[in-house]
């Protein structure tokens, strides 16, 4: 057996990570699986490597690719959950590693496989979130049993390959049924005069450009166009389709690279599903077949894509339904290439104001790649995390009423004043000039921010630390330019959210390494995954919940899905090795029991990692977010066990007052200065002071100059805010002394009635 070290194994993951390359070098999907097994077998110097795929409908595992066993067994060997060692790995959802497989009570013999000589067995489940995908098995002669490092490497490999294998499985299982009915065309739009729309600000900024409707089903529209023009489309041949496929593949690779520059945390593998479709013989084959019967290429692509979309959308599995969007994107791209670069349905968003009825996390990718100027979201449909994400990308956005916008036609000029939440449709020259001037002044003000002091002190010299909240790595530049002393909240959910797939430990480790490297020796607090609630990730949750804000979310979800929790903690710990100022915090902690459990898992990960690598693992500080009212009464007990507190006022207010933070209809009830909120915050800070742990604030209240002096007054000495607020918050802190802030806080805490507190709220620092 080769004596490969953990380092060697992790080195290979970088290569495996290039799944796009693995894919583009494979003739088709079966070829892709075949290449996977060869690659894994070679790397682990195993004589056998096999992939068994699980079918949710039949509840059976089937051998789908093998290197080392008889090829004739592919498609023939089938096992139920719990049957044989392979079925056992799936049933127990853990690696099964045995030295003498044939002696094991669960061993099942398949004469057609030819596996007698290979007695050392290691089977690792392939999972994506809660989705069971299959089992990756390696086998060797018994004298070469698999060791712990190899088990670890196989786990890492399966997590890296999971999404790609799952996509391949879905496509291989697909069968294209008879034609689906033609969709009903949307009603024609009417162009209207100039008018003004007042909505709500969701992401600040100014933008001006032609509008475009965000079309959810562009392929249906294209299909309709192709039917309308049937006969006039000219001849279509295989070479034409081949050119469109080649051009599409080239664009996918380019997009992957462009995304790598803009959103490095989600770039890898994002277009793999698209590439797989282009490799799927039945997908492209069905198009060719239609063309050979006389259909134009445009129509053949649109029809086949529509059929696939229909099948995917009809699935009872979320992850399959999700693929309908991939097909749609891919088909639109192919059709655009067939049409000489013009999709005919308006898909060029560069410099435009996009009007959307709903924004999904995956749409953010398209919007980012397309250099959209601004967004108007019609109706509700805005989750707080989508708005945080759009803000992180610095795209101006407002939320407006459907009726008010009904008269906007594609191409109408729209001026977006997202600071005020207004849109001017077909604005006059005067309005444009006025806003351009304001925009210029704003740029000047941002430059002025560069005059930030390195350290922030109150008027009497009391030191206050100002940190940045970061959601995307692209925000780090601004945080550093504006002299953030560190990162007080790194929201890790965005790579999970945008990709609609679970990033592997390796991918996460790369993101955290970039973050920590960029921040050098400054303090960085990484929050573990805060999924669920309004940042739902279907692939992580196995069923819709009647009340997601109170459901299986955040740390609860991670405790339920231990592998995901372990993978994230390990990725953070690996990235943080050798760094002194890394902190980990758990969101939405509700009880001491829950905190202990989460902290215990982090300790186990530290020990396991130290044992695996043989090196020391730097132990980070482990703290918690204060976001639930249940923490207030127990704050002293928590402060004895947590290394630090960070108050998430966004959720603290939501749960304290029972008001949905993202629901515009109850906006006036979402009151940060409610007396119970202010007093609750004070009790938490008192407990932290008493136990001598740091308590910072990272919710949005921390950047509001009406509340900053309150926080200073109750003893907060560390605030973490979105980077662009840093200059304003620093200016505010400079204007207060410990004494004046304490008096201000006391005056607010003395009131029982919201309106009385409002009379005392200042809107700027005293001069
Ligand atoms: C909060 O709840 O205040 C917070 C900072 O977390 P998030 O906004 O990500 O829920
Ligand atoms: Mg929160």
Least Cα distance to 37 among 77, 61, 68 occurs for: 68
Asked whether residue 157 falls in the same domain as residue 234, the answer is no
Catalytic residue among 698, 718, 724, 732: 698
Cα–Cα distance, 717 to 647 (Å, whole number): 12
Q: Summarize the confidence of residues 261-270 as an average pLDDT.
A: 74
Asked whether residue 168 falls in the same domain as residue 218, the answer is no
Indicate the top mutation candidate among 388, 488, 491, 720 to test ligand 1's pocket, ranked by most ligand atoms within 8 A of CB.
491
Is position 743 within any domain? yes
User: Quick check: 407 pLDDT over 60?
Assistant: yes
- Which comes out higher in pLDDT, residue 299 or 620? 620
- pTM, two decimals, is 0.74
CATH number of the domain that 136 lies in? 3.30.450.40
Q: Summarize the confidence of residues 475-496 as an average pLDDT.
A: 92
Asked whether residue 738 falls in the same domain as residue 674, the answer is yes
Q: Across 137-151, 321-335, 545-559, 744-758, which has the greatest mean pLDDT?
A: 744-758
- pLDDT tens digits along 569-587: 999 999 999 898 999 999 9
Is position 189 within any domain? no
Q: State the DSSP string of 167-223.
A: HHHHHHH----SPPPPPPPPPPP-----EEEE-EEEE--EEEEEEEE--S-HHHHHH
CATH number of the domain that 257 lies in? 3.50.30.10
Residues with CB under 6 A from ligand 1: 489, 491, 530, 627, 648-651, 698-699
- pLDDT tens digits along 347-382: 678 899 998 887 776 677 778 788 899 999 887 656
Is position 190 within any domain? no
Catalytic residue among 9, 385, 561, 703: 385
- Which comes out higher in pLDDT, residue 679 or 254? 679
Is position 179 within any domain? no
Q: What percent of the chain has pLDDT over 70?
A: 84
Residue 384's pLDDT band (cuts 50, 70, 90):
low
pLDDT of the residue at 186: 46
Q: What percent of the chain has pLDDT over 90?
A: 44
User: Which contiguous run of DSSP H or E holds residue 718?
Assistant: strand 718-721
Per DSSP, 719 falls in state: E
**In angstroms, what is the span from residue 256 Cα to ligand 1's centroid?**
30
Asked which of 173, 206, 231 is the last residue of a domain, the reply is: 173
Indicate the top mutation candidate among 651, 702, 720 to test ligand 1's pocket, ranked by most ligand atoms within 8 A of CB.
651
pLDDT of the residue at 5: 56
Asked whether residue 153 falls in the same domain as residue 200, the answer is no
Asked whether residue 321 falls in the same domain as residue 405, the answer is yes
Q: State the DSSP string of 95-134.
A: -EEES-GGGSTT----GGG--TT--EEEEEEEEETTEEEE
Give residue 553's domain range. Answer: 450-763
Asked whether residue 241 falls in the same domain as residue 345, the answer is yes
CATH number of the domain that 586 lies in? 3.20.20.60
What residues pair up with 60 in beta bridges, in sequence order?
A: 55, 80
- pLDDT tens digits along 93-142: 889 999 888 888 888 888 888 877 788 999 999 887 667 889 999 999 87
Asked whether residue 680 falls in the same domain as residue 722, the answer is yes
Order of strands across the sheet with 422-425? 195-198, 422-425, 413-417, 206-213, 353-356, 374-378, 397-400, 200-203
Is position 75 within any domain? yes
- pLDDT tens digits along 179-202: 444 444 444 444 446 777 888 888
**In angstroms, what is the span from residue 560 Cα to ligand 1's centroid?**
21
pLDDT of the residue at 180: 41
Is position 401 within any domain? yes
User: Quick check: 232 pLDDT over 70?
Assistant: no
Residue 468's pLDDT band (cuts 50, 70, 90):
very high
User: Quick check: 430 pLDDT over 50?
Assistant: yes
Q: Which atom of ligand 1 is nearest to the CA of 489?
A: 5
pLDDT of the residue at 382: 62
Beta strands in 250-389 (DSSP E): 353-356, 374-378
Residue 389's pLDDT band (cuts 50, 70, 90):
confident
Average pLDDT, the chain: 84
pLDDT of the residue at 541: 60
Asked whether residue 616 falls in the same domain as residue 726, the answer is yes
- pLDDT tens digits along 47-70: 999 999 998 878 899 999 999 999
Task: Give the chain's domain count.
Answer: 3
pLDDT of the residue at 189: 46
Structure-token pair, residue 517: 């490297």
Residue nearest to atom 3 of ligand 1 (CA): 648
Q: Summarize the confidence of residues 233-252 as an average pLDDT.
A: 83
pLDDT of the residue at 702: 97
Asked which of 436, 459, 480 is the last residue of a domain, the reply is: 436
Q: Summarize the confidence of residues 439-461 as an average pLDDT.
A: 78
Asked which of 411, 436, 461 is the last residue of a domain, the reply is: 436
Residue nearest to atom 8 of ligand 1 (CA): 650
Residue 8's pLDDT band (cuts 50, 70, 90):
low
Cα–Cα distance, 731 to 464 (Å, whole number): 12
- pLDDT tens digits along 613-667: 887 888 999 999 999 999 999 999 999 999 999 999 999 999 999 998 877 778 8
Asked whether residue 140 falls in the same domain as residue 67, the answer is yes
Structure-token pair, residue 420: 């005020």
Is position 324 within any domain? yes
Asked whether residue 573 falls in the same domain as residue 428, the answer is no
Number of H helices, E strands in the chain: 29, 23
User: Quick check: 520 pLDDT over 90?
Assistant: yes
User: Quick check: 686 pLDDT over 50?
Assistant: yes
Asked whether residue 417 falls in the same domain as residue 478, the answer is no
The CA distances from residue 84 to 46, 128, 293, 317, 540, in Å, are 20, 22, 48, 27, 28
**In angstroms, what is the span from residue 243 Cα to ligand 2's centroid?**
48
- Which comes out higher in pLDDT, residue 19 or 15? 19
Q: Summarize the confidence of residues 692-700 as an average pLDDT.
A: 97
User: Quick check: 29 pLDDT over 80?
Assistant: no
Asked whether residue 467 falls in the same domain as residue 418, the answer is no
Residue nearest to atom 4 of ligand 1 (CA): 648
pLDDT of the residue at 184: 43
pLDDT of the residue at 165: 80
Is position 553 within any domain? yes
Residue nearest to atom 1 of ligand 1 (CA): 648
Q: Which atom of ligand 1 is nearest to the CA of 388?
A: 8
pLDDT of the residue at 576: 95
User: Quick check: 346 pLDDT over 60?
Assistant: no
pLDDT of the residue at 378: 84
């Amino acid at each position: 057996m080769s004596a490969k070290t953990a380092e060697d194994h992790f080195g290979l993951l970088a290569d495996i990570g290039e799944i796009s390359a693995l894919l583009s070098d494979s003739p088709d999907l079966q070829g892709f699986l075949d290449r996977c097994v060869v690659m894994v077998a070679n790397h682990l110097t195993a004589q056998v490597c096999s992939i068994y795929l699980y079918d949710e409908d039949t509840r059976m595992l089937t051998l789908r690719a093998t290197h080392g066993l008889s090829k004739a067994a592919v498609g023939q060997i089938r096992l139920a959950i719990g049957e044989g060692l392979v079925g056992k790995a799936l049933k127990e959802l853990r690696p099964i590693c045995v030295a003498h497989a044939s002696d094991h009570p669960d061993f099942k013999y398949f004469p057609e496989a030819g596996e007698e000589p290979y007695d050392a067995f290691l089977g690792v489940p392939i999972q994506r979130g809660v989705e069971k995908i299959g089992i990756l098995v390696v086998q060797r002669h018994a004298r070469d049993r698999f060791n712990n490092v190899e088990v670890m490497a196989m786990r890492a490999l399966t997590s890296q390959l999971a999404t790609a294998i799952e996509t391949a499985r879905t496509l291989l299982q697909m069968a294209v049924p008879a034609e689906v009915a033609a969709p009903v065309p949307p009603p024609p739009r009417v162009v209207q005069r100039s008018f003004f729309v007042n909505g709500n600000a969701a992401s600040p900024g100014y933008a001006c450009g032609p509008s475009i409707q965000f079309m959810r089903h562009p392929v249906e529209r294209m299909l309709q166009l192709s039917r309308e023009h049937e006969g006039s489309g000219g001849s279509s041949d295989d070479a034409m389709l081949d050119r469109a496929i080649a051009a599409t593949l080239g664009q996918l690779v380019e997009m992957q690279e462009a995304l790598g520059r803009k959103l490095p945390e989600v770039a890898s593998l994002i277009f793999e599903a698209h590439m797989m479709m282009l490799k799927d013989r039945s997908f492209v084959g069905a198009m060719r077949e239609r063309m050979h019967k006389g259909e134009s290429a445009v129509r053949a692509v649109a029809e086949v894509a529509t059929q696939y979309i229909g099948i995917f959308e009809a699935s009872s599995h979320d992850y399959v339904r999700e693929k309908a969007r991939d097909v749609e994107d891919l088909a639109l791209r192919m059709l655009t290439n067939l049409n000489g670069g013009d999709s005919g349905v308006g898909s060029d968003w560069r410099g435009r104001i996009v009007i959307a009825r709903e924004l999904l996390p995956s749409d953010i990718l398209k919007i980012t790649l397309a250099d959209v100027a601004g967004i108007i979201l019609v109706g509700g449909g805005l989750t707080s995390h989508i708005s945080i994400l759009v803000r992180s990308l610095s795209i101006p956005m407002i939320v407006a009423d459907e009726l008010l916008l009904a008269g906007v036609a594609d191409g109408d000029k729209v001026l977006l004043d997202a600071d005020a939440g207004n849109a001017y449709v077909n604005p006059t020259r005067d309005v444009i000039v006025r806003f351009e001037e304001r925009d210029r002044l704003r740029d000047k003000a941002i430059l002025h921010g560069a005059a930030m002091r390195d350290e922030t002190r109150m008027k009497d010299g009391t030191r206050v630390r100002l940190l940045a909240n970061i959601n995307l790595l692209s925000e780090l530049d601004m945080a550093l330019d504006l002299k953030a002393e560190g990162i007080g909240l790194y929201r890790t959910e965005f790579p999970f959210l945008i990709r609609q797939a679970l990033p592997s430990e390796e991918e996460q480790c790369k993101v955290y390494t970039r973050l920590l490297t960029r921040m050098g020796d400054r303090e960085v607090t990484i929050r573990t995954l805060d999924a669920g609630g309004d940042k739902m990730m279907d692939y992580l949750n196995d069923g819709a919940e009647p009340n997601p804000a109170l459901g299986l979310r955040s740390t609860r979800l991670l405790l339920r899905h231990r592998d995901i929790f372990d993978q994230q903690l390990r990725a953070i710990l690996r990235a943080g090795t050798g760094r002194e100022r890394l902190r980990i915090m758990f969101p939405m902690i509700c009880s001491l029991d829950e905190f202990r459990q989460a902290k215990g898992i982090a300790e186990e990960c530290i020990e396991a990692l130290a044992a695996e690598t043989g090196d020391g693992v730097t132990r980070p500080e482990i703290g918690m977010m204060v976001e639930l009212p249940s923490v207030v009464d127990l704050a002293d007990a928590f402060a004895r066990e947590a290394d630090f507190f960070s108050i998430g006022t966004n959720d603290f207010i939501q749960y304290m007052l029972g008001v949905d933070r993202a629901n515009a209809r109850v906006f006036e009830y979402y009151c940060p200065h409610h007396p119970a909120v202010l007093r609750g915050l004070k009790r938490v800070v008192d407990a932290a002071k008493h136990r001598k742990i740091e308590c910072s604030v990272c919710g949005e209240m921390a950047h509001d100059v009406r509340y900053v002096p309150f926080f200073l007054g109750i003893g907060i000495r560390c605030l973490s805010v979105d980077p662009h607020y840093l200059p304003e918050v620093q200016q505010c802190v400079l204007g207060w002394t410990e004494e004046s802030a304490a008096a201000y806080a006391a005056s607010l805490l003395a009131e029982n009635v919201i309106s009385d507190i409002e009379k005392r709220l200042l809107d700027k620092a005293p001069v």
